[in-house]
Chains A and B, each alone.
Chain A
Amino acid sequence: MQNIYFPLDWFFITLIFFSGAYCMIVSKNIIKLLIGFEIISKASIIAIITSGYLISNINLAQSIIIVMILVEAVVIATGLALVVKSYRINKTIDITKLSNMKG
């Protein structure tokens, strides 16, 4: 399955990136935020693999993707742990209510 049209991929990557960015900007729920973060990571994975295909060095792109996936998983896990703990303390997961350090 060769003959991949490079700008088509990047068109879709732009759309996915925009969706994730919109979700991060608009939401007040912390877990929705993390979902938006996840979506952006997906977009960047596709970006790397298409660039790897362009240079015709896919194996390097694969090893970078493996590192990225692991980083993403660890970040999400720690973030969700913090959200759950914060829910136990503050009884809310609204991001505008976390204001006890505001100056």
Chain B
Amino acid sequence: MNLINSTPTGIMMIPLIIPLICAILILFISEKTRYVREFFSVIVTAVSLWAAIKLFKIGGDNLELVFSWFSSHKLHFKLDYLSMFLLFSVSMFSFLISIYSISIPNKGNPKIFYFLLLLTQVASSGVVLSDNLLLMLFFWESMVIFLYIFIYISSNSQQTKSTALKTFLINGIADISMMIGIAMIYYITSTLSISEISKTKIIMTGWGTLSFFLILIGTLTKAGAFPFHTWIPQAALYSNASFMAYIPAAIDKLLGIYFLARISLHIFQINLSVQIILMIIASITIIAAVMMALIQTDYKRLLSYHAVSQTGYMILGISTLNPIGIAGGLFHMINHATYKSCLFMTAGSVERQTQINDISKLGGLFWKMPATAICFIISAAAISGIAPLNGYFSKELVYKGTLNTGYTIFFYAAEIGSVLTLASFLKLGHSVFFGKLNDNLKGTKEAPLTILLPMIALSCICIIFGFGAHLPLSKLIQPSIVSIGYIPHTELSGFHLDNLFLISITIIIFSLTLHISGFSIYGKPYKTSDHIHYAPIIKNIYQLAEKGYFDLYEIFKRIFKSLANILFKIDRFFDIVIDKIPSNISIIFSSQISYIHRGIYNYYMLAIFIFVVVYLMYLGGIKW
């Protein structure tokens, strides 16, 4: 390995190499120590966060680091503004989650948990930093096995193991299609370097469209969009809160949307029909996921359906293809990571203190756990898009971008999604934190400090990004878009008192109406969405969804059974043709020949000598 550039760019290697070494070292720390592993990993993630911030200060565009590997292939690591922004977010979330999971009880063996956490950080930094498509694919695919082990070690029940298998299969098959797509890109352009391809973008001819859709399958699975999302709610039921706060909320979304931005803006040149397909997928994601979220009664499962739904906003923002929409999509990505992580952390803290997951049994926890409750309120307000918080600004940018394309139906779909999001969070907050306190919950205390600190940090970031929205927009998002190539011509941030603000106020009024009407019909806070649940047509759709008819994984499970039967019958047929018929023929022939072989030595000798004599005479040419 020879470092071609000098030491300022050597800092780029710190988030990759140091957690890798420390992950291996963690395996060697003995089991008898209590908290050594946790503090070690906290320090390591803090070091990589410092490295990411220092890279920010060095600034400059296009830092580059080249390793030569086997003296003919080169590994390119490249840092433009988009990668720098994402590296900073990945490191920050790793740091916060490693503080958070010090006190979480059911995360499995802590040695393996921290090992996987550091390795996932290495893998996601590698995806973000690499310039070569093959290198990025290596890091991307190595996250699948870590995902599997994370879920597997959470508990010992059979459902956990089958959830882990489902996750692995869905992610693994999507990664295979992504690999095929990247191989097709190599076939089209005969280079694998992203900066090379982005100089002349690939246009949508036959091979180009096919490779775009194959890579799209891989990216959408990672981010969690409509047909491929079904592992997330199941993992929410059977695994632990710190895993949910780390991977499906933060890292997967960041990486998925990062790569979606790369392929739709940087590498390919998308035409109109592909754009409409993307927007349709986004809208279906928003509405279907939020309708499923409305009727759940498990805390983490409700939050995970919302995670799927918010992905739709990000995809919608990026597929609008004008700079305002793209800025909205990227800003929503970082905002969503922030408040979704915070929400999962509150779920984890409530679960740790009360050991109850079902919201019908919780209630009135506001005065017992005040810090948790305040963080919940701030994050819930942010996710719904209430005015001065960060969710409002990113959603406003996405709406503006959608209106600029001219197709207003997607705008209506996004607005309906907003209404139902706020309604479900009102239901959740009301049943968990407000209302009457149950008798068996009287002894709950506030969560310990290591759980509260990351929550409070993330809520503060929500508020800061909301009130001072020009800070992230001008420093993080705008340079990223410029480096991809779309230059905005209006001011992105700032509080505009226009129609969109009035529409957001009406959204708040609609959802309050839904909530209060449900509460007055049923009387209990966790049943406030039942009037939608049991409405005439929608009830049947909900029944089908509960049975798993819309789940691709379950559909494939049914198909494979009959497919296996057919293949078995074909295999029996080939068995007869290849095995039975030739062996029967050879048995018939050999039973004839075995009459000639009697096993008596003298006959053999006679035959040999006769043959030798005849052959010699033939060679010499004797005449009879």
Contacts and interface: CB of A to CB of B under 8 A. Distances in A.
Majority-rule SS of B interface residues: helix
Interface stretch (B28-36, B152-160, B381-389, B597-605): B597-605
A12 to B, nearest CB: 16
15 contacts: A21-B605, A21-B609, A24-B605, A24-B609, A25-B602, A25-B605, A25-B606, A25-B609, A26-B602, A28-B602, A95-B601, A96-B600, A96-B601, A99-B599, A102-B599
Contacts of B600: 96
A96 B609 CA distance: 20
Contacts of A28: 602
A8 B543 CA distance: 109
Nearest to A14: B613
A28 B605 CA distance: 12
Interface in B602-621: 602, 605-606, 609
Interface of A: 21, 24-26, 28, 95-96, 99, 102
A60 B140 CA distance: 74
A102 B599 CA distance: 7
Interface residues of B, number: 7
A66 B147 CA distance: 77
Interface of B: 599-602, 605-606, 609
Nearest to A30: B601
Contacts, number: 15
Contacts of A25: 602, 605-606, 609
A28 B600 CA distance: 10
Contacts of A24: 605, 609
Contacts of B609: 21, 24-25
A26 B599 CA distance: 15
Contacts of B602: 25-26, 28
B523 to A, nearest CB: 90
Contacts of B599: 99, 102
Contacts of B601: 95-96
B424 to A, nearest CB: 80
> 5 tightest A-B contacts by CB?
A21-B609, A25-B605, A25-B606, A95-B601, A102-B599
B400 to A, nearest CB: 89
Given A96-B600, A102-B599, 13 more contacts: A21-B605, A21-B609, A24-B605, A24-B609, A25-B602, A25-B605, A25-B606, A25-B609, A26-B602, A28-B602, A95-B601, A96-B601, A99-B599
Contacts of A26: 602
A25 B599 CA distance: 14
A50 B601 CA distance: 33
B398 to A, nearest CB: 83
A86 to B, nearest CB: 14
A102 B598 CA distance: 10
Contacts of A95: 601
A28 B602 CA distance: 8
A21 B608 CA distance: 10
B374 to A, nearest CB: 90
B340 to A, nearest CB: 76
A43 to B, nearest CB: 13
A102 B609 CA distance: 24
A102 B600 CA distance: 10
Nearest to B597: A103
A75 to B, nearest CB: 16
Contacts of B606: 25
A95 B609 CA distance: 19
A95 B602 CA distance: 9
B2 to A, nearest CB: 63
A68 B404 CA distance: 101
A92 to B, nearest CB: 14
A38 to B, nearest CB: 15
A99 B600 CA distance: 9
A26 B603 CA distance: 9
A28 B606 CA distance: 14
